[in-house]
Chains A and B, each alone.
Chain A
Amino acid sequence: MSKLDLMLFEEEYKLLQEIIGRLSKDASAKVVFLVDKNGQQIAAAGDVKSIDATSLASLTAGNVAATDGLAKLIGEKEFSLLFHEGEKDNLHISIVGKRGILVVIFDQNSSLALVRLRVKKASKELQEIFDQVELRAQKELDPGSRFESPFSEITDEDIDRLFGD
Protein backbone atom coordinates (compact mmCIF):
# COMPACT_ATOMS: atom_id res chain seq x y z
CA MET A 1 0.00 0.00 0.00
CA SER A 2 1.04 3.55 -0.60
CA LYS A 3 2.65 5.40 2.27
CA LEU A 4 2.67 8.71 0.42
CA ASP A 5 0.77 11.45 2.18
CA LEU A 6 -2.50 12.26 0.50
CA MET A 7 -2.31 15.88 -0.65
CA LEU A 8 -5.29 17.47 -2.32
CA PHE A 9 -5.05 20.86 -4.00
CA GLU A 10 -7.87 23.29 -4.75
CA GLU A 11 -8.26 22.24 -8.37
CA GLU A 12 -8.44 18.49 -7.68
CA TYR A 13 -10.74 19.04 -4.74
CA LYS A 14 -13.12 21.06 -6.91
CA LEU A 15 -13.19 18.32 -9.55
CA LEU A 16 -13.90 15.61 -6.96
CA GLN A 17 -16.59 17.77 -5.41
CA GLU A 18 -18.15 18.38 -8.82
CA ILE A 19 -18.26 14.67 -9.65
CA ILE A 20 -19.92 13.61 -6.40
CA GLY A 21 -22.30 16.58 -6.57
CA ARG A 22 -23.43 15.38 -9.96
CA LEU A 23 -23.65 11.78 -8.72
CA SER A 24 -25.82 12.87 -5.80
CA LYS A 25 -28.31 14.50 -8.18
CA ASP A 26 -28.22 11.85 -10.94
CA ALA A 27 -28.70 8.99 -8.48
CA SER A 28 -31.41 10.90 -6.53
CA ALA A 29 -29.35 10.21 -3.41
CA LYS A 30 -29.73 11.89 -0.02
CA VAL A 31 -26.00 12.23 0.60
CA VAL A 32 -22.81 11.14 -1.10
CA PHE A 33 -19.47 10.94 0.69
CA LEU A 34 -16.02 10.29 -0.66
CA VAL A 35 -13.69 9.00 2.05
CA ASP A 36 -10.24 7.49 1.99
CA LYS A 37 -9.48 3.96 3.10
CA ASN A 38 -7.86 5.24 6.29
CA GLY A 39 -11.09 6.84 7.45
CA GLN A 40 -10.65 10.48 6.44
CA GLN A 41 -13.44 12.33 4.70
CA ILE A 42 -12.36 13.79 1.35
CA ALA A 43 -15.55 15.36 -0.04
CA ALA A 44 -19.31 15.31 0.48
CA ALA A 45 -22.46 16.35 -1.40
CA GLY A 46 -26.19 16.48 -0.69
CA ASP A 47 -27.84 16.84 2.71
CA VAL A 48 -24.47 16.66 4.48
CA LYS A 49 -25.57 18.36 7.68
CA SER A 50 -27.99 15.54 8.54
CA ILE A 51 -25.15 13.12 9.29
CA ASP A 52 -22.05 13.03 11.52
CA ALA A 53 -19.64 12.85 8.58
CA THR A 54 -16.46 12.23 10.61
CA SER A 55 -17.90 9.17 12.36
CA LEU A 56 -19.38 7.96 9.10
CA ALA A 57 -15.98 8.16 7.39
CA SER A 58 -14.20 6.28 10.16
CA LEU A 59 -16.86 3.56 10.48
CA THR A 60 -17.06 3.11 6.70
CA ALA A 61 -13.29 2.65 6.50
CA GLY A 62 -13.48 0.16 9.40
CA ASN A 63 -16.28 -1.69 7.65
CA VAL A 64 -14.40 -1.83 4.34
CA ALA A 65 -11.19 -2.91 6.10
CA ALA A 66 -13.01 -5.73 7.92
CA THR A 67 -14.72 -6.83 4.71
CA ASP A 68 -11.34 -6.76 2.94
CA GLY A 69 -10.02 -9.05 5.66
CA LEU A 70 -12.96 -11.41 5.09
CA ALA A 71 -12.36 -11.36 1.33
CA LYS A 72 -8.74 -12.35 1.79
CA LEU A 73 -9.75 -15.15 4.17
CA ILE A 74 -11.78 -16.80 1.42
CA GLY A 75 -9.19 -16.08 -1.28
CA GLU A 76 -10.76 -12.99 -2.89
CA LYS A 77 -8.77 -9.82 -3.60
CA GLU A 78 -11.53 -7.58 -2.25
CA PHE A 79 -15.28 -7.14 -2.27
CA SER A 80 -15.68 -4.01 -4.32
CA LEU A 81 -19.27 -3.37 -3.27
CA LEU A 82 -21.14 -3.37 0.05
CA PHE A 83 -24.84 -2.75 0.35
CA HIS A 84 -26.78 -2.22 3.58
CA GLU A 85 -30.55 -2.12 3.38
CA GLY A 86 -32.47 -0.26 6.05
CA GLU A 87 -36.15 0.37 6.68
CA LYS A 88 -36.02 3.85 5.16
CA ASP A 89 -32.44 4.55 4.13
CA ASN A 90 -29.92 2.37 2.36
CA LEU A 91 -26.16 2.54 2.19
CA HIS A 92 -24.22 1.75 -0.98
CA ILE A 93 -20.45 1.51 -0.43
CA SER A 94 -17.99 0.96 -3.26
CA ILE A 95 -14.23 1.03 -3.64
CA VAL A 96 -12.65 3.62 -5.95
CA GLY A 97 -9.15 2.71 -7.07
CA LYS A 98 -6.55 1.98 -4.41
CA ARG A 99 -7.50 4.48 -1.75
CA GLY A 100 -11.04 5.82 -2.18
CA ILE A 101 -14.41 4.72 -0.85
CA LEU A 102 -17.64 6.10 -2.26
CA VAL A 103 -20.65 6.09 0.09
CA VAL A 104 -24.13 6.78 -1.28
CA ILE A 105 -27.09 7.08 1.10
CA PHE A 106 -30.49 6.85 -0.57
CA ASP A 107 -34.16 6.22 0.23
CA GLN A 108 -37.26 5.19 -1.73
CA ASN A 109 -36.82 8.17 -4.08
CA SER A 110 -34.09 6.16 -5.77
CA SER A 111 -33.31 2.50 -6.40
CA LEU A 112 -30.32 0.19 -6.05
CA ALA A 113 -30.17 -0.25 -9.83
CA LEU A 114 -30.03 3.50 -10.47
CA VAL A 115 -27.42 4.03 -7.77
CA ARG A 116 -25.25 1.22 -9.11
CA LEU A 117 -25.44 2.60 -12.64
CA ARG A 118 -24.52 6.16 -11.64
CA VAL A 119 -21.81 5.05 -9.21
CA LYS A 120 -20.11 3.06 -11.95
CA LYS A 121 -19.79 6.14 -14.16
CA ALA A 122 -18.70 8.45 -11.33
CA SER A 123 -16.13 5.91 -10.07
CA LYS A 124 -14.30 6.01 -13.39
CA GLU A 125 -14.08 9.80 -13.28
CA LEU A 126 -12.98 9.80 -9.63
CA GLN A 127 -10.34 7.20 -10.41
CA GLU A 128 -8.81 9.52 -13.01
CA ILE A 129 -8.49 12.33 -10.47
CA PHE A 130 -6.95 9.98 -7.88
CA ASP A 131 -4.43 8.86 -10.49
CA GLN A 132 -3.49 12.50 -11.12
CA VAL A 133 -3.11 13.12 -7.37
CA GLU A 134 -0.86 10.08 -7.03
CA LEU A 135 1.23 11.07 -10.05
CA ARG A 136 1.77 14.57 -8.69
CA ALA A 137 2.67 13.25 -5.23
CA GLN A 138 5.32 11.04 -6.79
CA LYS A 139 6.71 13.95 -8.82
CA GLU A 140 7.00 16.02 -5.68
CA LEU A 141 9.09 13.33 -4.05
CA ASP A 142 11.57 13.91 -6.84
CA PRO A 143 14.59 15.77 -5.39
CA GLY A 144 14.43 18.25 -8.30
CA SER A 145 10.83 19.18 -7.46
CA ARG A 146 10.12 22.84 -6.82
CA PHE A 147 7.23 22.12 -4.49
CA GLU A 148 7.78 23.67 -1.09
CA SER A 149 5.70 22.39 1.78
CA PRO A 150 4.28 25.04 4.11
CA PHE A 151 5.22 22.71 6.96
CA SER A 152 8.95 22.81 6.39
CA GLU A 153 9.22 25.48 9.05
CA ILE A 154 7.12 24.04 11.88
CA THR A 155 8.71 24.94 15.20
CA ASP A 156 8.42 23.56 18.74
CA GLU A 157 6.52 26.75 19.64
CA ASP A 158 3.90 26.03 16.93
CA ILE A 159 3.30 22.63 18.48
CA ASP A 160 3.18 24.00 22.04
CA ARG A 161 0.57 26.50 20.91
CA LEU A 162 -1.67 23.67 19.68
CA PHE A 163 -1.85 22.42 23.25
CA GLY A 164 -2.43 25.88 24.65
CA ASP A 165 0.97 26.15 26.39
Chain B
Amino acid sequence: MTFINYASREINCKIVYYGPGLCGKTTNIQWIYEQANPEKRGKLVSLATETDRTLFFDFLPLDMGTIKGFKVRFHLYTVPGQVFYDASRKLILRGCDGIIFVADSQRARMEANIESIANLATNLRENGFDIRTIPYVLQFNKRDMPSAASMPDLERLLRFRNEPMVEAVANQGIGVIDTLKAAARQILMELQRS
Protein backbone atom coordinates (compact mmCIF):
# COMPACT_ATOMS: atom_id res chain seq x y z
CA MET B 1 0.00 0.00 0.00
CA THR B 2 1.73 3.10 -1.22
CA PHE B 3 1.40 6.21 0.93
CA ILE B 4 0.99 9.33 -1.19
CA ASN B 5 1.10 12.60 0.70
CA TYR B 6 -0.10 15.41 -1.57
CA ALA B 7 0.54 17.98 1.17
CA SER B 8 4.26 17.26 1.54
CA ARG B 9 4.45 15.86 -2.02
CA GLU B 10 5.92 12.51 -1.02
CA ILE B 11 5.41 8.93 -2.12
CA ASN B 12 6.43 6.17 0.28
CA CYS B 13 6.75 2.58 -0.92
CA LYS B 14 7.49 -0.53 1.11
CA ILE B 15 9.73 -3.23 -0.38
CA VAL B 16 10.28 -6.50 1.47
CA TYR B 17 13.30 -8.78 0.98
CA TYR B 18 12.17 -12.37 1.46
CA GLY B 19 14.02 -15.69 1.29
CA PRO B 20 15.40 -18.62 3.28
CA GLY B 21 17.76 -18.24 6.24
CA LEU B 22 21.27 -16.99 5.40
CA CYS B 23 20.44 -16.27 1.74
CA GLY B 24 21.72 -12.68 2.02
CA LYS B 25 18.67 -10.45 2.58
CA THR B 26 20.39 -8.38 5.28
CA THR B 27 23.59 -8.31 3.21
CA ASN B 28 21.62 -6.72 0.33
CA ILE B 29 20.34 -3.84 2.40
CA GLN B 30 23.60 -3.43 4.29
CA TRP B 31 25.36 -2.95 0.97
CA ILE B 32 22.77 -0.41 -0.14
CA TYR B 33 23.21 1.41 3.17
CA GLU B 34 27.01 1.54 2.80
CA GLN B 35 26.88 2.77 -0.79
CA ALA B 36 24.04 5.28 -0.48
CA ASN B 37 24.73 8.97 -0.17
CA PRO B 38 24.52 9.66 3.61
CA GLU B 39 22.12 12.53 2.91
CA LYS B 40 19.73 10.23 1.11
CA ARG B 41 19.67 7.31 3.49
CA GLY B 42 18.12 7.05 6.93
CA LYS B 43 19.32 4.97 9.81
CA LEU B 44 19.67 1.21 9.27
CA VAL B 45 17.64 -0.42 12.02
CA SER B 46 18.46 -4.09 12.67
CA LEU B 47 16.52 -6.13 15.17
CA ALA B 48 18.94 -9.06 15.34
CA THR B 49 20.08 -11.70 17.81
CA GLU B 50 23.50 -11.60 19.46
CA THR B 51 24.81 -13.78 16.66
CA ASP B 52 23.59 -11.29 14.03
CA ARG B 53 20.68 -13.40 12.83
CA THR B 54 17.63 -11.27 12.00
CA LEU B 55 15.13 -11.58 14.84
CA PHE B 56 12.28 -9.37 13.62
CA PHE B 57 13.36 -7.18 10.71
CA ASP B 58 15.99 -4.84 9.26
CA PHE B 59 14.76 -1.49 8.04
CA LEU B 60 16.36 1.09 5.78
CA PRO B 61 14.61 4.25 4.53
CA LEU B 62 16.02 5.55 1.26
CA ASP B 63 15.30 8.86 -0.52
CA MET B 64 15.42 8.21 -4.23
CA GLY B 65 14.87 11.66 -5.74
CA THR B 66 11.75 13.07 -7.34
CA ILE B 67 9.27 11.85 -9.88
CA LYS B 68 6.54 14.16 -11.28
CA GLY B 69 7.40 16.64 -8.51
CA PHE B 70 6.95 14.07 -5.74
CA LYS B 71 9.77 12.93 -3.45
CA VAL B 72 10.07 9.16 -3.78
CA ARG B 73 11.07 7.28 -0.63
CA PHE B 74 11.56 3.53 -0.40
CA HIS B 75 11.30 1.72 2.90
CA LEU B 76 13.32 -1.48 2.62
CA TYR B 77 12.54 -4.29 5.03
CA THR B 78 13.98 -7.78 5.43
CA VAL B 79 12.19 -10.66 7.11
CA PRO B 80 13.83 -13.18 9.44
CA GLY B 81 14.58 -16.18 7.21
CA GLN B 82 14.68 -18.93 9.81
CA VAL B 83 11.66 -21.22 9.50
CA PHE B 84 10.40 -20.78 13.09
CA TYR B 85 9.99 -17.00 12.76
CA ASP B 86 6.98 -17.39 10.51
CA ALA B 87 4.64 -15.26 12.63
CA SER B 88 7.05 -12.31 12.34
CA ARG B 89 7.43 -12.76 8.57
CA LYS B 90 3.69 -12.54 8.12
CA LEU B 91 3.55 -9.23 10.04
CA ILE B 92 6.29 -7.61 7.99
CA LEU B 93 4.44 -8.26 4.72
CA ARG B 94 1.60 -6.03 5.93
CA GLY B 95 1.03 -3.21 3.44
CA CYS B 96 4.00 -4.09 1.24
CA ASP B 97 4.22 -2.73 -2.33
CA GLY B 98 6.69 -5.22 -3.73
CA ILE B 99 8.78 -8.30 -2.95
CA ILE B 100 12.40 -9.11 -3.69
CA PHE B 101 12.93 -12.83 -3.30
CA VAL B 102 16.57 -13.56 -2.54
CA ALA B 103 17.34 -17.15 -3.52
CA ASP B 104 20.50 -18.92 -2.35
CA SER B 105 22.17 -20.32 -5.48
CA GLN B 106 23.86 -23.19 -3.65
CA ARG B 107 22.50 -26.58 -4.69
CA ALA B 108 22.11 -27.70 -1.07
CA ARG B 109 19.73 -24.76 -0.44
CA MET B 110 17.31 -25.48 -3.28
CA GLU B 111 14.72 -27.13 -1.07
CA ALA B 112 14.92 -24.21 1.39
CA ASN B 113 14.35 -21.77 -1.54
CA ILE B 114 11.31 -23.66 -2.76
CA GLU B 115 9.86 -23.91 0.74
CA SER B 116 10.41 -20.20 1.28
CA ILE B 117 8.56 -19.26 -1.95
CA ALA B 118 5.64 -21.47 -0.88
CA ASN B 119 5.70 -19.80 2.53
CA LEU B 120 5.76 -16.37 0.88
CA ALA B 121 2.70 -17.27 -1.21
CA THR B 122 0.80 -18.32 1.92
CA ASN B 123 1.80 -15.27 3.96
CA LEU B 124 0.99 -12.88 1.11
CA ARG B 125 -2.42 -14.47 0.71
CA GLU B 126 -3.09 -14.01 4.42
CA ASN B 127 -2.28 -10.33 4.00
CA GLY B 128 -4.66 -10.03 1.04
CA PHE B 129 -2.04 -10.12 -1.74
CA ASP B 130 -1.47 -12.52 -4.64
CA ILE B 131 2.07 -13.75 -5.32
CA ARG B 132 1.18 -13.97 -9.04
CA THR B 133 0.38 -10.28 -9.37
CA ILE B 134 2.30 -8.31 -6.73
CA PRO B 135 5.49 -6.55 -8.01
CA TYR B 136 8.13 -9.27 -7.64
CA VAL B 137 11.81 -9.73 -8.48
CA LEU B 138 13.85 -12.94 -8.21
CA GLN B 139 17.48 -12.49 -7.20
CA PHE B 140 19.91 -15.41 -7.47
CA ASN B 141 22.46 -14.61 -4.80
CA LYS B 142 25.85 -16.22 -4.06
CA ARG B 143 26.64 -16.78 -7.76
CA ASP B 144 30.34 -16.92 -6.80
CA MET B 145 29.98 -20.07 -4.68
CA PRO B 146 31.59 -23.21 -6.15
CA SER B 147 28.47 -25.21 -5.32
CA ALA B 148 26.11 -22.77 -7.09
CA ALA B 149 23.53 -24.42 -9.34
CA SER B 150 23.40 -23.46 -13.01
CA MET B 151 21.15 -20.58 -14.06
CA PRO B 152 18.88 -22.79 -16.22
CA ASP B 153 18.37 -25.13 -13.24
CA LEU B 154 17.59 -22.24 -10.88
CA GLU B 155 15.21 -20.71 -13.36
CA ARG B 156 13.40 -23.98 -13.90
CA LEU B 157 13.00 -24.59 -10.18
CA LEU B 158 12.28 -21.12 -8.82
CA ARG B 159 10.85 -18.89 -11.51
CA PHE B 160 7.11 -19.10 -11.86
CA ARG B 161 5.68 -15.93 -13.44
CA ASN B 162 8.12 -14.50 -15.92
CA GLU B 163 9.46 -12.20 -13.20
CA PRO B 164 12.71 -10.27 -13.70
CA MET B 165 15.76 -12.30 -12.61
CA VAL B 166 19.03 -10.82 -11.36
CA GLU B 167 22.29 -12.67 -10.71
CA ALA B 168 24.03 -11.38 -7.60
CA VAL B 169 26.93 -11.61 -5.21
CA ALA B 170 25.44 -9.36 -2.53
CA ASN B 171 28.51 -9.18 -0.28
CA GLN B 172 30.40 -7.64 -3.21
CA GLY B 173 27.47 -5.50 -4.28
CA ILE B 174 27.06 -7.33 -7.57
CA GLY B 175 23.43 -7.21 -8.75
CA VAL B 176 22.18 -5.47 -5.60
CA ILE B 177 21.17 -2.17 -7.19
CA ASP B 178 19.88 -3.89 -10.35
CA THR B 179 17.55 -5.93 -8.16
CA LEU B 180 16.24 -2.88 -6.31
CA LYS B 181 15.80 -1.05 -9.57
CA ALA B 182 13.78 -3.91 -11.09
CA ALA B 183 11.48 -3.85 -8.07
CA ALA B 184 11.17 -0.04 -8.11
CA ARG B 185 10.27 -0.11 -11.80
CA GLN B 186 7.42 -2.53 -11.24
CA ILE B 187 6.08 -0.68 -8.20
CA LEU B 188 6.10 2.73 -9.91
CA MET B 189 4.55 1.30 -13.05
CA GLU B 190 1.85 -0.21 -10.87
CA LEU B 191 1.26 3.29 -9.46
CA GLN B 192 0.91 4.55 -13.00
CA ARG B 193 -1.69 1.90 -13.84
CA SER B 194 -3.75 2.41 -10.70
A interface list, Cβ under 8 A from B: 1-10, 12-14, 36-40, 42, 52, 54-55, 58-59, 62, 65-66, 68-69, 149-154, 156, 158-159, 161-164
> Nearest-CB distance from A145 to chain B (Å)?
12
**Which chain B residue shows the least CB distance to A73?**
B87
Residue of B2, B7, B56, B87 near A13 (CB, 8 A) is B7
Residues of B within 8 A of A13 (CB): 5-8
Residue of A8, A62, A65, A154 near B68 (CB, 8 A) is A154
Q: 1/0 contact trace for B1-30 toward A, CB 8 Å?
A: 111111110011010000000000000000
What 6 A-B pairs have minimum CB-CB distances, sorted nearest first? A38-B95, A13-B7, A65-B91, A154-B192, A40-B3, A10-B7
A-B pairs under 8 A by CB, number? 131
Residues of A within 8 A of B88 (CB): 66
Residues of A within 8 A of B72 (CB): 162
Residue of A38, A52, A62, A163 near B177 (CB, 8 A) is A163
User: Are B188 and A6 touching (Cβ within 8 A)?
Assistant: no
User: Are B128 and A158 touching (Cβ within 8 A)?
Assistant: no
> Nearest-CB distance from A2 to chain B (Å)?
7
Residues of A within 8 A of B12 (CB): 40
The stretch of B42-50, B104-112, B150-158, B164-172 that contacts the partner chain: B42-50
> Nearest-CB distance from A97 to chain B (Å)?
15
> Nearest-CB distance from A89 to chain B (Å)?
19
User: Are B94 and A38 touching (Cβ within 8 A)?
Assistant: yes
User: Are A3 and B6 touching (Cβ within 8 A)?
Assistant: no
A137 and B43 CA atoms in complex are apart in Å by 32
**With A40-B3, A40-B12, A58-B59 as contacts: A5 and B188 at CB distance below 8 Å:** no
**Which chain A residue shows the least CB distance to B96?**
A38
